[in-house]
Amino acid sequence: MTLNITLSKFSKDPLYQQIISEIKRNILSGQLKEEEQLPSIRQLAKDLEVSVITVKKAYEKLEQEHFLMTVPYQGTYVAHLDTDQIEAKILAEIDQGLEEIATKAKSIDLTAQDLTQRLLERMEE
């Protein structure tokens, strides 16, 4: 299993949300395959040097979003993915975020060109 997770203590996002984003990235990029087992909650907490509660919350949210499935007494696995459904969900989240960004940009008269440049810079990070 190749689970590549990088957390930042300086991020505005809480640690559990960063873990969620990183696991989703691993799944969507193909680094984690369907039915592949993830580390136990305790093991991942130890590896990331975070609390067990933080990892548990991330795993629970990922289960609710159908990215993971937990089999009692066996472990947590990557769920069978409906990629169309996942893509639609991600696009809906992007649209929601863009709506909020557009409203804020208009409030300070930020041009579409300036906003596009800022987006391109973020995507290159």
| Of residues 89 and 50, more confidently modeled | 50
Nearest Cα residue to 38 out of 82, 79, 80, 1: 1
Nearest Cα residue to 39 out of 65, 4, 12: 4
pLDDT at 29: 83
Q: Are residues 39 and 74 in the same domain?
A: yes
pLDDT, one tens digit per residue, over 106-123 is 999 999 999 999 999 998
Domain count, the chain: 2
Give me the domain span that covers residue 19. Answer: 15-78
Q: Are residues 19 and 64 in the same domain?
A: yes
In a domain, 39, yes or no: yes
Pairwise CA distance, residues 100 & 17, whole Å: 19
Q: Are residues 52 and 71 in the same domain?
A: yes
pLDDT at 18: 97
pLDDT, one tens digit per residue, over 40-59 is 999 999 999 999 999 999 99
Q: Are residues 20 and 70 in the same domain?
A: yes
Q: Are residues 88 and 74 in the same domain?
A: no
Q: Are residues 109 and 94 in the same domain?
A: yes
SS3 of residue 66 by DSSP: coil
pLDDT at 69: 97
Instruction: Please state the rounded mean pLDDT for residues 56-79.
Output: 96
pLDDT at 2: 62
In a domain, 100, yes or no: yes
Residue 30 region by backbone torsions, left for phi larger than 0, else alpha for psi between -120 and 50, else beta: left
pLDDT at 101 over 90: yes
Q: Are residues 62 and 28 in the same domain?
A: yes
Beta 68-71 vs 75-78: how paired, if at all? Answer: antiparallel
